[in-house]
Structure 1
Amino acid sequence: MTERWNAERGSVTPYSLIFIVTLMAFAGLAVDGGAKLRAGWEAVGVAEEAARAGAGLVDQAAAYAGRPFVVDAAAGAQAARAYLAKSGHAGTVGLAGPQTVRVTVTVTKSTYLLSMVGISEVTATARTTADLATGVSRRER
């Protein structure tokens, strides 16, 4: 009987090691997967707000001349870039039409547990547009 116990001595160690590594991998995916989601939400929020800041600037010369309201391209892009700078994010700003501002933002977050296996950061990119809407419309009573 002693011979049998000696032959199996230490056989639990490889199973324990595999279990612990697998458990840490799943914990890393859960914790750092949440960081990826947070980065995505942050990127979308910042991109939407920057696009809104740019789309709200009307070309006043065109409006006063009686032409249709359009986004002031230079002022709109500058306002969107200013919002990005103030929020501490980098991104690109452009026009997607005479009444539409497009903003792209990339957010990078550090990882906690996945950094142990060489993944030190996660990134998320959001691309949004905002349209200039003029006037107020509502249903007549």
Structure 2
Amino acid sequence: MRPNALTITRKLRTRDGGAISLLVIVFFLALLAAAGLVVDGGAKLRAARQASAVAEEAARAGAGRIDRDRAYTRGGRFVVDRNAAVSAARAYLASSGNTGSVTITSGQRIRVTVTITEPTVLLAAIGINNLQVTKTATADLLQGVEREDRRF
């Protein structure tokens, strides 16, 4: 049976050349990218919150280490014991399972920087394997009333 002109014309009119499959692929890739931003972006926000909390707590732990000898026997001024402060902050970082740096910026201030690397779930499909977050916190050792608080 030979196809007639009507059958050939119908086949030519119904051929779409695969245009819909290209549209589906583009839509799927856009959907995957959006899902990656939501899932992995949420993980980055959680990591940022965690890094901030760890940095703040490590700084507080370090600022609480005063030089008792200087405070109680040599004039009564409270200053941070540098070695004990750095050790306490590093111990807190180690116990939290995070990495970071600890510096004493003055006799009364300690700065802790925490870096967290979070592996990606969906963005790994496009070559982004890790997201890194770095947060810094400082804590001051205050003795008595430093100034009037007018926030309220």
TM over 0.5: yes
Could you say what secondary structure the match of 2:75 adopts?
Answer: coil
Specify the alignment match of 1:110 in structure 2. Answer: 119
**Shift of the alpha carbon at 1:10?**
2.1
Structure 1 segment 18-97 matched on structure 2, within 5 A? 18-64=26-72, 65-97=74-106
TM-score by length of 1: 0.91
Deviating more after overlay: 61-70 vs 37-46: 61-70
**Shift of the alpha carbon at 1:66?**
1.6
Deviating more after overlay: 58-67 vs 74-83: 58-67
RMSD (CA atoms)? 1.7
**Shift of the alpha carbon at 1:133?**
2.1
Runs of 4+ off more than 6 Å: 136-139
Aligned residues: 138
CA distance in 2 between partners of 1:87 and 1:134 (Å): 29
CA distance in 2 between partners of 1:76 and 1:58 (Å): 8
**Shift of the alpha carbon at 1:67?**
3.9
CA distance in 2 between partners of 1:11 and 1:84 (Å): 55
CA distance in 2 between partners of 1:127 and 1:83 (Å): 15
| Residue ranges of structure 2 left out of the alignment (5+ in a row) | 1-8
Q: Does 1:120 align with 2:129?
A: yes
CA distance in 2 between partners of 1:86 and 1:20 (Å): 43
CA distance in 2 between partners of 1:70 and 1:35 (Å): 39
**Shift of the alpha carbon at 1:33?**
0.5
Deviating more after overlay: 120-129 vs 62-71: 62-71
Specify the alignment match of 2:21 in structure 1. Answer: 13
TM-score by length of 2: 0.85
**Shift of the alpha carbon at 1:9?**
4.3
CA distance in 2 between partners of 1:70 and 1:92 (Å): 20
CA distance in 1 between partners of 2:82 and 2:50 (Å): 26
Could you say what secondary structure the match of 1:58 adopts?
Answer: coil
Could you say what secondary structure the match of 2:101 adopts?
Answer: strand
Structure number with larger C-alpha Rg: 2
CA distance in 2 between partners of 1:78 and 1:9 (Å): 69
**Can you list the C-alpha shifts for 1:40-60, whole angstroms capped at 9, x where unaligned?**
111100000000000001111
Could you say what secondary structure the match of 2:131 adopts?
Answer: strand
